[in-house]
Amino acid sequence: MTSGPPASATARERAEQGRALRTEVPRSSHADFSPAADRADPVDILERQSALRVPELVPIRYGRMLESPFRFYRGAAAIMAADLATTPATGLTTQLCGDAHLLNFRLLASPERHLMFDLNDFDETLPGPWEWDIKRLAASLAIAGRGNGFDTTVRAGIIGAACASYRTRMRRYADMRTLEVWYAHDDMADIEAEEAQELGSRGRAQLARTMAEARTRDAVQAFRKLTRVIGGQVRIAPDPPLIVPLGDLLPDVERDLLTDEIRELITSYARTLRSDHRSLLEQYRVVDTARKVVGVGSVGTRCWIVLLLGKDTDDPLLLQAKEADESVLAPYAGPGRHTNQGERVVSGQRLMQAAGDIFLGWERTTGIDGRQRDFYVRQLRDWKGIMKTELMVPVGLRRFAVRCGATLARAHARSGDRIAIGAYLGKGPAFDEALVRFAELYADQNERDHQALAEAVREGRVTAAAA
């Protein structure tokens, strides 16, 4: 499956195609969701993923997913991918995030050192139906709203606002020149000024705190938090089972082999960087490596943090090398054009983000067990800030939802047929209203799946651990 508008079609033809699709796939049809009669057991889906992961870390994944329906949802992208494949779709495709829940929209640094708002997690990115991303976002808002204790009417306003924002922004991009769409971005300085007119004092203060905190989350802050001096050498500090240095993870011979493997990974992945960024990386040397547990859905995948130093110990760089597996969308949208899954992740991120990490790249390596695995590499921290949605009052979550909807539209407009999608969505709220109902129906399903995991743990079918 490929994304993007047909090169030979005029703007008018693309708009006519979009409007015509309303007859084939009515916008109201997107309201529907009911589990398929042959729907797979959600725990079986999770277990199939877990079979490919580090065994001793899998219970941590389940432990985190059990904490709440929203935490479960964050780890259940594979379950929802199978469900989304049964829902109506127009046939218009774009590059998908693949996991566009609300906490994957966050503050990031641009290479020019501006604080931006953008999508962040692209482990599941792949070309596919544009509807899948916006439906995952909408359902996440319903689930988060329930977690915050918001009633049905309030949740409907939040979900509808996000979808209206996606729709109106997509229609705006349809009228813009292609280069204008490509250069579009969300600078947090502009957002802060705009939000000052909408948010109350509490919301403005929370936004200001989040922005200030994001600017402190850089390589130096990570270095101070994650390292210590051992025997006169700077080393990554252990915090098992979440952070385990190689020296504590494997016997001497295997440890040395894996150390060499990771050094080679960092050296060879540099070929996927721009030449100036490659030259910059060459000014650093690898001094230590540790395994790190990250996120919720990613727990159990092989993830390494690599400490590099420049001119001295006050000149650190922390990279994260994360295993990339096949996208959860691939069984339903097709495998895509990349045979290296790390390259798939990086290519999707570069296509969807307005400004990216200068050290983002990929590599395939053979492990000490003889198996080939794909990885993508990025900076561990670079001004990353996550909005604390669980603390938001309704007006704050609604404003955040609007930003997420607009950002997702921009990400889709960079690769998909923004004119046809915008024409399909139209000026009225038909699509927005449909997704409000879909989101609540899927939130119900997510609660049932969360309970299914809890029951599997009680029965001893799977093991969960807190960490």
Same domain membership, residue 266 and residue 205: no
Q: Are 412 and 171 in contact (CB under 8 A)?
A: no
Q: Across-strand partners of 210? A: none
Q: Are 81 and 328 in contact (CB under 8 A)?
A: yes
pLDDT for the residue numbered 3: 58
Same domain membership, residue 165 and residue 24: yes
Q: Which of the listed residues 349, 379, 409 is the one where a domain comes to its end?
A: 379
Same domain membership, residue 84 and residue 170: yes
Q: Closest Cα to residue 75, out of 46, 95, 104?
A: 46
Of 24-28, 210-214, 298-302, 425-429, the least confident: 210-214
Q: Closest Cα to residue 374, out of 411, 326, 306, 443?
A: 326
Gyration radius (Cα) of the chain, Å: 22
Mean pLDDT of 402-423: 97
Q: Which two tokens stand for residue 426?
A: 């139209």
pLDDT for the residue numbered 159: 98
Q: Which two tokens stand for residue 258?
A: 């894996």
Mean pLDDT of 363-391: 86
| Residue 355 φ then ψ, to 5° | -145, 130
Burial (CB < 10 A; 0-12, 13-18, 19+), residue 143, is: buried
Same domain membership, residue 331 and residue 283: yes
Whether 2 is in a domain gets the answer no
Residues 166-206: pLDDT tens digits? 999 999 999 999 999 999 999 888 888 887 777 677 777 87
For 393, residues 6+ apart whose C-beta sits below 8 A from its C-beta are 202, 203
Q: Closest Cα to residue 321, out of 258, 384, 279?
A: 258
Residues 30-55: pLDDT tens digits? 999 999 999 999 999 999 999 999 99
Q: Across-strand partners of 376? A: 322, 362
Residues 263-286: pLDDT tens digits? 899 999 999 999 999 999 999 999
Same domain membership, residue 136 and residue 120: yes
Whether 89 is in a domain gets the answer yes
CA dist., res. 358 & res. 109, Å (int): 10
Same domain membership, residue 118 and residue 33: yes
Q: Which of 210-224, 294-308, 361-375, 435-449 has maximum average pLDDT? A: 435-449
Structural domain of 442: 15-193+200-214+393-458
Residues 316-338: pLDDT tens digits? 999 999 999 999 999 999 999 99
- Domain tally, the chain: 2
Whether 3 is in a domain gets the answer no
SS3 letters across the chain: CCCCCCCCCCHHHHHHHHHHHHHHCCHHHHHCCCCCCCCCCHHHHHHHHHCCCCHHHHHHHHHHHHCCHHHHHHCCHHHHHHHHCCCCCCCCEEEECCCCCHHHEEEEECCCCCEEEEECCCCCCEEEEHHHHHHHHHHHHHHHHHHCCCCHHHHHHHHHHHHHHHHHHHHHHHCCCHHHHHHCCCEHHHHHHHHCCCCCHHHHHHHHHHHHHHHHCCHHHHHHHHEEEECCEEEECCECCCEEEHHHHCCHHHHHHHHHHHHHHHHHHHHHCCHHHHHHHCCCEEEEEEEECCCCCCECECEEEEEEECCCCCCEEEEEEEEECCCCCHHHHCCCCCCCHHHHHHHHHHHHCCCCCCCCEEEEEECCCCCEEEEEEEECCCCCECCCHHHCCHHHHHHHHHHHHHHHHHHHHCCCCHHHHHHHHCCCCHHHHHHHHHHHHHHHHHHHHHHHHHHHHHCCCCCCCCC
More confident call, 221 vs 342: 342
Same domain membership, residue 229 and residue 179: no
Residue reference for tokens 């252990």: 238
Q: What percent of the chain has pLDDT above 70?
A: 98
Same domain membership, residue 341 and residue 301: yes
Whether 8 is in a domain gets the answer no
Quick check: bond before 111 cis, omega within 30? no
- How many residues are given for the chain? 467
Whether 121 is in a domain gets the answer yes
Whether 180 is in a domain gets the answer yes
**Rounded to the nearest 10 degrees, how much is the dihedral formed by the CA atoms of 124, 130, 133, 135?**
-140
Q: Are strands 233-236 and 285-292 parallel, antiparallel or unpaired?
A: unpaired
Q: Which two tokens stand for residue 140?
A: 């996440």
Same domain membership, residue 223 and residue 208: no
pLDDT for the residue numbered 434: 98
Confidence check: pLDDT of 292 > 60: yes
Residues 107-147: pLDDT tens digits? 988 888 889 999 999 999 999 999 999 999 999 999 999 99
More confident call, 8 vs 88: 88
- Count the alpha carbons within 13 Å of 437 in the hemisphere toward its beta carbon: 13
Same domain membership, residue 281 and residue 161: no
Confidence check: pLDDT of 421 > 90: yes
Same domain membership, residue 345 and residue 235: yes
Q: Which two tokens stand for residue 17?
A: 């195609």
Confidence check: pLDDT of 150 > 80: yes
Q: What is the mean pLDDT of the chain?
A: 93
Is this structure's pTM higher than 0.85?
yes
Residues 440-459: pLDDT tens digits? 999 999 999 999 999 999 99
Same domain membership, residue 227 and residue 132: no
Q: Are 182 and 414 in contact (CB under 8 A)?
A: yes
Residues 217-268: pLDDT tens digits? 888 888 889 999 988 899 999 999 999 998 888 777 788 888 888 889 999 9
Confidence of residue 2 (pLDDT cuts 50, 70, 90): very low
Q: Are 290 and 236 in contact (CB under 8 A)?
A: yes
Whether 342 is in a domain gets the answer yes
Whether 7 is in a domain gets the answer no
CA dist., res. 67 & res. 60, Å (int): 11
